[in-house]
Structure 1
Amino acid sequence: MNTLKILSGGAAQGLVDSLAAKFRDITGYVIEGEFGAVGTMAEKLRAGRPADVLILTTAVLDALARDGFIVSGAATDVGLVEAAIAVRASDPAVAVDTADALRDSLRACDAFFVPDTKASTAGQHIAKVLSQLGIAGDMKDRLREFPNGATAMRHLASSDAARPIGCTQTTEILNTPGLTLIGPLPPGCELATMYAATPTGQTTHATAATTLIKLLTASEQHGARQRAGFLSRSGN
């Protein structure tokens, strides 16, 4: 069976997985996906990793286009993804509706599970928020940092800490069993990142690549994108 290779931010894994069977029925192709921090996925492409489709943030795709790895203007928006707070499903909710509430909730936790604060979109933002809230030093020993948000959330779900909290993109929280999505980061701390999909310049499966991108972004898949945690530009 033919294989379509994708490099994707972890944010899109749940959406891709939910549509993989339909894509196979339409094209006869199976998806071979590699998911992780967007910076890491971009570096894999730059280093020569074979790929037919990229699903990354628009900022990262713009940089790849400038460097000639993809065609400029060929990407199609998938949707906005918010950074959000999660707890284990067995734990009580925490308050994160204001910056002060978020600060208090973070100070009360004994472990804070986050994606890579250098290579991932959410992780970079989380590091800025901790500094903005004036608690970066306080949280240093409580940070539990992992290569990507999906891995961080799996470790949060299985954590034996007394009061753990996690923060990553909503899509990765929703795709992890055993967690409760509390809500997005509050005003002044929020992050909403646009993800887009595009064929790579190296693909030899252009028709299948285009079909996958149309499937991911089609209006009839609006419900699937919502369930996976993607918002439209209008915020729904």
Structure 2
Amino acid sequence: MTTLRVFSGGAPKEVFLALTPSFEKQTGHKVDYVFAVMSALKDKLAAGEKPDVLIMPTNILDGYQKDGVALAQHRAVLGMVSISAVVKAGRQKPDLSSPDAVKAAMLQARAIAFASPGATPSGTHMGKLVEQLGIAEQMKGRIIHRPALEGGVQLVASGEAEIGFYPKSEVIADGLDIAGPLPAPIQLSTIYGAAVTIASAAPEAGAAFIAFMTNAKNRSVWTKGGFDPPPA
């Protein structure tokens, strides 16, 4: 029996928690996950930690493959996830039909929440978006930087933040209603992938993990978890 150490961003967490028991039963392998924001995972790798599998946006995996950290063999695309706005369950959903509508919704909110810029792709995007919409000054003191993994969705569910902006896969939770995706002109769609690391002591088990998670029979679990199919 092999215990696989998997470093993953938060976006696919619920999907993995749903699928892992079947993988473990079928293969006899165990999976030890480290779910964290991208900046924290990068720090762990830089410090010399050696996971068996990386689950990250494909552009980040490209860099690790180029740097000799991730193998090209067995790499796979898991799916695409976009940013959605969420509100406390039962509250009126904001208009998200256009960039101007999103701007108005932000300005009307007592507080909004998203991940810290630099910590996650969605947080970086949202930080830039506030600047792009020209409302950085007006929103000072009204933005709570908290990754979904670290309590961001709870801020929305409790009403402390009126709107949260997170990857759809991270906000499928009790106490929340998904208001909808950001409109196309200001949307960020992130393609997640998987790779076995060069330092893995169990590359074959890592490859089996990736093959299981990308098996077509599990596609519905990814869809339910907020991921769209990989681009053709």
TM-score clears 0.5: yes
Identity %: 28
Shift of 1:73: 5.8
Segments ≥4 residues shifted beyond 6 Å: none
Shift of 1:47: 1.4
Farther-moved stretch of structure 1 (52-61 vs 21-30) = 21-30
Distance 1:31 1:158, change over 3 A: farther
* Alignment partner of 1:230 out of 214, 227, 230: 227
* Per-residue deviation, residues 85-111 of structure 1 (Å, max 9, x unmatched): 101113221111211111111111111
Name the residue aligned to 1:103: 103
**Corresponding position: 1:210 with 2:207:** yes
Unaligned stretches of 5+ residues in structure 2: none
Farther-moved stretch of structure 1 (28-37 vs 196-205) = 28-37
Number of equivalenced pairs? 231
Unaligned stretches of 5+ residues in structure 1: none
Name the residue aligned to 1:170: 168
- Work out whether residues 112 and 143 of structure 1, in 8 Å CA contact, stay in contact via their aligned partners in 2: yes
In structure 1, what residue type is equivalent to 2:95?
A
Shift of 1:3: 2.0
Name the residue aligned to 1:154: 154
Name the residue aligned to 1:86: 86
In structure 1, what residue type is equivalent to 2:18?
S
Name the residue aligned to 2:125: 125
In structure 1, what residue type is equivalent to 2:88?
R
- Work out whether residues 37 and 121 of structure 1, in 8 Å CA contact, stay in contact via their aligned partners in 2: no
* Per-residue deviation, residues 82-137 of structure 1 (Å, max 9, x unmatched): 01110111322111121111111111111111112112100000011111111122
Q: Distance in 2 between matches of 1:72 and 1:50?
A: 17
In structure 2, what residue type is equivalent to 1:150?
L
Name the residue aligned to 2:70: 70
In structure 1, what residue type is equivalent to 2:163?
I
